Copies of this chain bind each other. A is one copy, B any other.
Amino acid sequence: MSIVKLAQDLGLSISTVSRALNDYDDVAPATKARVFKRAREIGYRPNPGARRLKSGKTSMVGVILPAATDGVRFVDSVASSLLGGVEVELETGGYSLIASMQTRNDLVRETALYENFIKGGWVDALLLVRTRVSDSRVELARAAKLPFVTYGRTETSEPYAWVDTDNEKAFYLATLRQIEFGHKRIALLNGPLEYTFARLREKGYTRALAKHRIQTDRLLMLNGDLNEVSGYALCRALLVSAQAPTAIVCATDAMAIGAIAACRERNIEVGKEISITGYGNSSASAFADPPLTTIDHAVFDNGRHIGQSLLRLIRGEAKPADIHYLEPVVLVPRKSDGPSPKTT
């Protein structure tokens, strides 16, 4: 099953067989065909370890998934679709995705994990997800001269390859819609501000408010985990405050569903007495009560973009500076928001 067996079988030298298989052009087309045919028949597969040792190429792309907030989930639902897209593209290039996982989100363990991953020679390229505004991982990858693309942007001196969804526009749109509904007190349930996406969403939110000369109110901008529990808790806190909002723009559908539950608990009718919007257009959002107005963004396509970019980077067909892709977003209006009760 090794290349020497195959060479013997064909009466050729191993070098010729190798060059034939790798499609070099100094081997005659007829021989090439003969080699391919026999290789297929005999079921020959190059030993990945040997190839890797010799060529230095691993044909793997690595990703380390951040620990979810409950400490349990391997990937949240968005990373889930994203990786699907990445994998699909990578596969066409003969690459595989090797996924590791952080068990906890502290920085020293993270650094150790990435150091090991990067310097250990496990992968040819890296996918960095859930970027922070200041993210040590990009320096790590850059220092190791390892190609990488980030999902989400970050602040760094040199150009880098990124793919992102238009978080800012998404929250600009969602907030604007509430303003147009006549809402004045609009809350933002956001993720932790260390993450770039949260920063950008806040930016979109404030930009919409500023456009209509609405004063931002720090008390209306809350940060927490991206799940139902957090959405419930934060919304609850909002509802009991002196100046409760009439609209809440949430960072995820899960948060919004938690927020809806909090409203239900207090018999506040969502979509009439209060507006709530989500983000992600998850399948759950369509079946919420009321169906959730949310933001759709093609995260699977984002994954495909990432996969393609990774391949181009690895093959040297592109420089990091060439790879900047901002996926558009579209607002999906449903029933969880509507005109402000004060204006009716």
Do the beta carbons of A286 and B84 come within 8 Å of each other? Answer: no
Taking CB atoms, residues of chain B closer than 8 Å to A77 are 73, 77, 80
Q: CA–CA, A76 to B76, complex, Å?
A: 9
A17 at the interface (CB under 8 A from B): no
A119 at the interface (CB under 8 A from B): yes
Q: CA–CA, A72 to B86, complex, Å?
A: 11
Chain B interface: which of A40-48, A156-164, A240-248?
Answer: A40-48
Taking CB atoms, residues of chain B closer than 8 Å to A68 are 84
Do the beta carbons of B84 and A72 come within 8 Å of each other? Answer: yes
Q: CA–CA, A66 to B88, complex, Å?
A: 13
Do the beta carbons of A87 and B100 come within 8 Å of each other? Answer: yes
Do the beta carbons of B96 and A98 come within 8 Å of each other? Answer: yes
Q: Which among B91, B101, B254 is the interface contact of A284 at CB below 8 angstroms?
A: B254
Taking CB atoms, residues of chain B closer than 8 Å to A289 are 260-261, 264, 289
Question: Which residue of chain B lies nearest to A299 when distances are taken between CB atoms in the complex?
Answer: B72
CB distance from A291 to the nearest CB of B (A): 8
Interface string of A78-117 (1 = CB under 8 A from B): 0111111101100100001111110100000000000010
| Chain A, interface SS category | helix
CB distance from A117 to the nearest CB of B (A): 9
A296 at the interface (CB under 8 A from B): no
Do the beta carbons of B100 and A283 come within 8 Å of each other? Answer: no
A120 at the interface (CB under 8 A from B): yes
Q: CA–CA, A232 to B52, complex, Å?
A: 50
Taking CB atoms, residues of chain B closer than 8 Å to A49 are 49-50, 52-53, 56, 58, 121
Taking CB atoms, residues of chain B closer than 8 Å to A72 are 81, 84-85, 300
CB-contacts of A195-243 with B (<8 A): 227-229, 232
- Subset of 11 A-B contacts with CB under 8 Å: A48-B121, A68-B84, A74-B80, A76-B80, A77-B77, A77-B80, A87-B100, A97-B100, A228-B287, A254-B284, A289-B289
Q: Which 8 A-B pairs have the closest CB atoms?
A: A49-B52, A74-B84, A49-B53, A74-B83, A261-B287, A87-B101, A228-B287, A98-B98
